[in-house]
Amino acid sequence: MKTVHSEDHRLHFPQGELYGGELVTPFERPSRVEHVLNRLRDRGFPAPVAPDALDMGPVRRIHAPDFLEFLETGWSEWEAAGFKGEMIAACFPARRMHTGRPPVNIDGKLAYYALANETAITGGTWGAAQAACAVAQSAQRLVAGGERAAFALCRPPGHHATADMFGGYCFLNNAAVAAEMFRLDGAKRVAILDVDFHHGNGTQDIFYNRGDVLFVSLHGAPEHAFPYFLGYADETGAGEGEGANLNYPMPPGTAYDRWSEALDHGIGKIRNFAPDALVISLGVDAYKDDPISFFKLTSPDFMDCGRRIAALGLPTLFCMEGGYAIAEIGVNAVNVLEGFEGA
């Protein structure tokens, strides 16, 4: 399996994240990628290749133009306003406020486009986000060109990014852009399977009214886990997308026996949907020692997860998402890939 990777991920490294009332080093940090790269090398995977230049065409089909403009120009506006620190939202357009009127002031504009304030923007964030999306695009082209599977080692991740909001460490929705590219390449139907511990609220939001993209997510129950306000089982799609959105929320302490039952059920739904391609939002934060999650999967469980995904027999693109037990992220992510390849 070929891997696509860009060193430009290093451009994004905020020094602060608000967690538990403290400003801490972000859980989503560059060293995550290094552990995955080291494990890929140690397990004999081909050396990663650099991505082609980003094609903004598919990105614009997924994300709103004003949001993309904000991501591109926000840092310069922030500096021009005289702010010295990183861009962290200080307020939000809450219930019963005028949420359809984006402010001109950059402090208000930042709040308008943010869905959470754990995610800071720096001068390098836009470049890194573009590089991550280019990684997903190039890996998609490998699969569309005939490869059985490819691994997009994306950083920053993407599945929390909606059409017009960033948060959860995500800015551009890499998996959604890749799914749209499969459709543009002629796929009649595409499935996205999100195995990250956190619900892929952005991906759900983007495709909720569409019946050509099936979204399946296994995640921590939203009453207990970020992003909190989306990811319930009764969210099944709307309009043409009715029935094309499947959520499997699970409670604290969920181990692999229960998690794999949900996986098998979701795989069955994907098989019935009969997609032409499969995109995996590959988060490995369901791991038992992840610092911001509460599932209990072990490293061997991720190998078995890969085997079960492979049983679908579909052209498959893996897009890296979360996983914050940094010492184990390489083993867990590559275990999924090896399980898939071994099957």
Q: Is residue 317 part of a domain?
A: yes
Query: What number is the average pLDDT over the span 68-89?
Result: 97
pLDDT digits (tens, 9 = 90+) for 192-251: 999 999 999 999 999 999 999 999 999 999 999 999 999 999 999 999 999 999 999 999
User: Is 58 domain-assigned?
Assistant: no
* pLDDT band with cut points at 50, 70 and 90 for residue 61: very high
Q: Dump the DSSP string for 4-73.
A: E--GGGGG---S-EEETTEEE--SS-THHHHHHHHHHHHTTPPPPBPPPPP-HHHHHHHS-HHHHHHHHH
Spot the catalytic one: 5, 12, 160, 199: 160
Is 160 assigned a catalytic role? Answer: yes
The domain tally of the chain equals 1
Residue 80: inside a domain:
no
- Domain of residue 293 covers 2-52+124-342
Say if residue 101's pLDDT is above 90: no
pLDDT of residue 98: 81
- pLDDT band for position 288 (50/70/90)? very high
Whether residue 206 is contained in a domain is answered as yes
| 86 in a structural domain | no
Classify residue 113: in a domain, yes or no. Answer: no
Find the range with the poorest average confidence among 18-27, 146-155, 307-316: 18-27
Token pair listed for 48 = 């990663």
Report phi then psi at 167, rounded to 5. Answer: 155, 170
What average pLDDT does the structure give for the chain? 97
CB neighbour burial string for 112-134, b if at least 16 within 10 angstroms, e if fewer: bbbbbbbbbbbebbbbbbbbbbb
Is residue 30 one of the residues assigned to a domain? yes
118-166 pLDDT, tens digit per residue, is: 999 999 999 999 999 999 999 999 999 999 999 999 999 999 999 999 9
Average pLDDT rounded to a whole number, residues 276-299: 98
Q: Which residues, listed in sequence order, are joined to residue 194 by a DSSP beta bridge?
A: 217, 281
Q: Is 259 inside any structural domain?
A: yes
**How far is residue 264 CA from its own chain's centroid?**
21
pLDDT of 100 above 90: no
Give residue 99's pLDDT. Answer: 80
Q: Return the amino acid letter for 96.
A: R
CA distance 4 to 93: 37
Helix (H) or strand (E) holding 269: helix 256-273
Q: Give the domain CATH number at 43.
A: 3.40.800.20
